[in-house]
Each structure stands twice: as structure tokens, then as C-alpha cells.
């Protein structure tokens, strides 16, 4: 994964046409691949963040001097569950709000006793009567709070894992989309390229690279077809188990 680096954006515009064409016939995937390899080469992470969640790191992977598209795999579709996951977030948020209200009300009604209970905990003292009851109740509330925060975090994580690439694919600051109101498909295809790669040690080698591209096609009050996002890069000739970019 790449780290953000500011100030390199201007270099990309001057470099987009640098990579020569190795294939005789052009394909619609070429422009985004050209941008990807160029931005990766100059470490223009600001530009990469607009259309990729990975990079081809020149410090470890080398730089692509030229490439040709050798094949484009069929598009695979997977149904999205954005509405269901969005509803789950709304429900757990409502549950958390209700719990928080109950916790604050109890805390305000028993503030001094809670302070004595916390002091007793720190000093390993035993409480009796009303103070002991409040201590037990507050301990239970704190345990419930921990569980509730885990529940909220789990719902958000599940939604984020489904929504991150979709959000990037359909992002339009002029016409923002509430993903929780949409369903649709995540479309995936693999593009294989023959690349001339200059390695970090200066050696130039030929590599077959497989680029994974994904985009969202959403259906709700209108249909939205997102842009392609580059989500994976791997050397198809590398040994099994080799970590992909």
C-alpha cells in the first residue's frame, strides 16, 4: 500500500504520455493503466488515491518503462448488500444512542456515589449498602458500554469492507451518493500486461503482470455506473505465495 506524498501531482500531468505502447491494438484499459504506472513511478500518491488502492512501488517493485496488454479476462459480478449493511449500522447506532442516554441519566443521578465507588476500586476497598449497589450497577454499565462499542465498530467495519472500493468508484463531489440507499453489483476483471520493468537495482526485465480492476454498478432511485479502480497487482510469473502489491 502507498503512503500519501504531497507535491507530486503536477509531475503526473507532464508524464502521462511517457509510457510507450508495446501492443499494436489499443484497448480501453490502457489509459488507466498508463496513469497507474506513471503515478506509481513518480510516487504521486495524491493522484493514485483517485483511482487505485494499491501502487507499484518503485522502491521495491521497480518502475514500468513500457507495457502492452496481452489479455483481458471476463467480467465477474458479485451482488452488493449495501442497503442491508447500511440498515444494520442505523439500527446499532440507534441502540447505542439509547444506551448512551440511559448511561448518562444514571451517571447524573448517582454522580457522587459513582465517584466514591471508583475511588474504592482504586484503593481496593469494599463498599456497603447503597454505595455497593451503585458500584455494581456502574460496573455493569461499563461492561455494556464496552460491548456496545465493539458492536458498533463491527458493524462499521463490515460496511467499510464492502463500501470502500464502491465509494471510490462512484465518488462525485458534485453529486454525492448515499450508498445505504443502493444495491447493485461489484464488477471485477483481470488485465494481463507484458511489462518492461526497471528493477530497483537498475536491471531491466520483462514481467507478466496481472492487474485487478473493479467498479460498482449501483441501482436505486437511479442507476450509477462507477469508474474502474485498480485494486491489485501481481507478477503472474512469481512463485506461489509471493505477496502482491
Q: Answer whether residue 3 is part of any domain.
A: no
CB neighbours of 135 closer than 8 A, spacing ≥ 6?
Answer: 113, 117, 120, 121, 127
Kindly tell me if the per-residue pLDDT of 137 is higher than 50. yes
Residue 129 lies in a domain: yes
Averaged pLDDT for residues 169-185: 88
202 domain-assigned = no
Question: 239 versus 39: which is more confidently predicted?
Answer: 39
pLDDT at 13: 42
Share of the chain above pLDDT 90, in %: 64
Contacts of 80 (CB under 8 A, 6+ apart): 162, 166, 182, 183, 184, 185, 186, 216, 218
215, pLDDT greater than 50 = yes
Average pLDDT rounded to a whole number, residues 151-157 = 91
Are 152 and 168 within 8 A, CB to CB? no
Helix (H) or strand (E) run with residue 213 in it: strand 204-219
For residues 126-130, average pLDDT: 88
Q: Is residue 144 part of a domain?
A: yes
Q: pLDDT class for 186, splitting at 50, 70, 90?
A: very high
Return the pLDDT at 191.
Answer: 97
Q: What is the pTM of this model?
A: 0.69
Rg (C-alpha) for the chain, rounded Å, is 26
Average pLDDT, the chain: 86
Of the listed ranges 70-74, 153-157, 192-196, the least confidently predicted one is: 153-157
Q: Does residue 21 have a pLDDT over 80? A: no
Predicted local confidence at residue 221, as pLDDT: 81
For 192-202, letters b (16+ CB in 10 Å) and e give bbbbbbeeeee
Assigned domain for 134 exists? yes
- Residue 242 is predicted with a pLDDT of 55
Give residue 184's region: left, alpha or beta (phi > 0; psi -120 to 50): left
User: What domain count does the chain have?
Assistant: 1
Q: For position 243, what pLDDT does the model report?
A: 54
> 82-118: per-residue pLDDT in tens?
888 888 899 999 999 999 999 999 999 999 999 999 9
- Check if the beta carbon of residue 18 is closer than 8 Å to that of residue 38: yes
Give exposure, 42-80, as e/b (b: 16+ Cβ within 10 Å). bbbbbbbeebbbbbbbbeebbbbbebbbeebeeeeeeeb
Nearest residue to 188 via CA among 226, 214, 217: 214
Give me the pLDDT at residue 162, please. Answer: 75
Q: Has residue 96 been placed in a domain?
A: yes
Task: State the DSSP string of 52-69.
Answer: BS----TTTT-EEEEEEE
Q: Is residue 101 part of a domain?
A: yes
Work out the end-to-end distance of the chain between its first and last CA atoms, rounded to an integer number of angstroms: 7
Residue 148: CB atoms within 10 A of its CB come to 17
Q: How high is the pLDDT of residue 25? A: 52
> pLDDT (tens digit, 9 = 90+) per residue, 41-87?
999 999 999 999 999 999 999 999 999 999 999 999 999 888 888 88
136 lies in some domain? yes
Range of the domain at 105: 82-164
Amino acid at each position: 500500500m502507498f503512503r500519501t506524498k504531497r507535491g507530486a501531482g503536477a509531475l503526473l500531468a507532464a508524464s502521462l504520455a511517457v509510457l510507450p505502447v508495446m501492443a499494436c491494438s489499443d484497448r480501453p484499459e490502457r489509459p488507466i493503466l498508463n496513469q497507474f504506472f506513471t503515478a506509481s513511478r513518480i510516487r504521486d500518491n495524491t493522484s493514485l488515491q483517485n483511482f487505485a488502492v494499491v501502487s507499484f512501488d518503485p522502491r521495491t517493485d521497480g518502475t514500468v518503462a513500457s507495457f502492452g496488454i496481452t489479455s483481458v479476462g471476463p467480467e465477474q459480478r458479485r451482488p452488493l448488500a449495501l442497503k442491508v449493511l447500511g440498515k444494520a449500522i442505523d439500527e446499532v447506532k440507534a441502540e447505542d444512542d439509547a444506551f448512551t442516554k440511559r448511561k448518562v441519566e444514571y451517571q447524573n443521578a448517582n454522580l457522587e456515589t459513582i465517584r466514591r465507588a471508583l475511588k474504592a476500586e482504586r484503593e481496593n476497598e469494599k463498599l456497603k449498602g447503597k454505595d455497593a449497589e451503585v458500584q455494581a450497577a456502574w460496573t455493569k454499565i461499563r461492561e455494556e458500554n464496552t460491548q456496545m462499542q465493539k458492536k458498533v465498530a463491527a458493524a462499521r467495519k463490515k460496511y467499510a469492507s464492502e463500501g470502500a472500493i464502491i465509494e471510490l468508484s462512484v465518488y462525485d463531489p458534485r453529486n454525492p451518493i448515499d450508498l445505504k440507499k443502493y444495491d447493485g453489483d461489484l464488477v471485477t476483471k483481470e488485465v494481463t500486461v507484458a511489462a518492461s520493468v526497471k528493477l530497483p537495482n537498475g536491471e531491466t526485465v520483462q514481467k507478466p503482470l496481472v492487474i485487478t480492476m473493479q467498479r460498482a454498478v449501483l441501482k436505486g432511485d437511479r442507476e450509477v455506473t462507477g469508474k474502474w479502480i485498480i485494486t491489485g497487482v501481481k507478477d503472474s510469473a512469481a512463485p506461489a505465495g509471493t505477496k502482491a502489491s
